[in-house]
Amino acid sequence: MPSEDLIPSLLAASDVLGTGWFGAVAAEAAPGKTVAVVGDGAVGLLAVLAAKGLGADRIVAMSRHASRQKLAREFGASDVIEERGDTGVARIKELTDGLGAHSVVEAVGTQESMMQAIRSTRPGGHVGYAGVPHDVELPGEELFFSHVHSHGGPAPVRRFLPELIDLIWSR
């Protein structure tokens, strides 16, 4: 039996932690990479934690809320960007010598957040989308010429549960 203090984390593993982890895996977060996370809700914050757990060198949280920025930093974010849209994309590019992030997790599901994720990703990079899309339309030609890979959908949380439970159990 788990100790009582582990139960909230174990419950989170079956939903928001598993979803954030999927977003980071779909974005191919890994050692040597810069990961940006668009969205600072529960899934986005746990995508920051997942990127850290997957060994990302630099993690950029896109957040406008002081309390969530604090959590993002506690979870491993090295940078926080408050700007959105084209200005937010420009800030990501500034932090990455004009290239964009290797990996971007989209954890919101709006048109603006999806375009910010795609445009913040360097050519050849990966967007992992875990936000449920609400009337999102992708411009095919822009996506085609960006050389950005995209992968997402409903999170296959059961795939990650053994690893997540082990990480939680071992604290």
CA distance 127 to 99: 15
**Section 111-129 average pLDDT:** 96
Task: Answer whether residue 132 shows pLDDT above 90.
Answer: no
User: Domain containing 58: what range?
Assistant: 4-169
CATH number, domain of 120, equals 3.90.180.10
Q: What one-letter code names the amino acid at 134?
A: H
Task: Answer whether residue 84 shows pLDDT above 90.
Answer: yes
What is the structure's pLDDT at 143?
Answer: 86
What is the structure's pLDDT at 1?
Answer: 87
pTM: 0.94
Give how many domains the chain has, as a whole number.
1
% of the chain exceeding 70 in pLDDT: 100
What is the structure's pLDDT at 139?
Answer: 87
Task: Answer whether residue 43 shows pLDDT above 90.
Answer: yes
Nearest to 71 by CA among 45, 47, 51: 45
Q: Collapsing DSSP states into helix, strand and coil, what is residue 69? A: helix
CA distance 64 to 12: 24
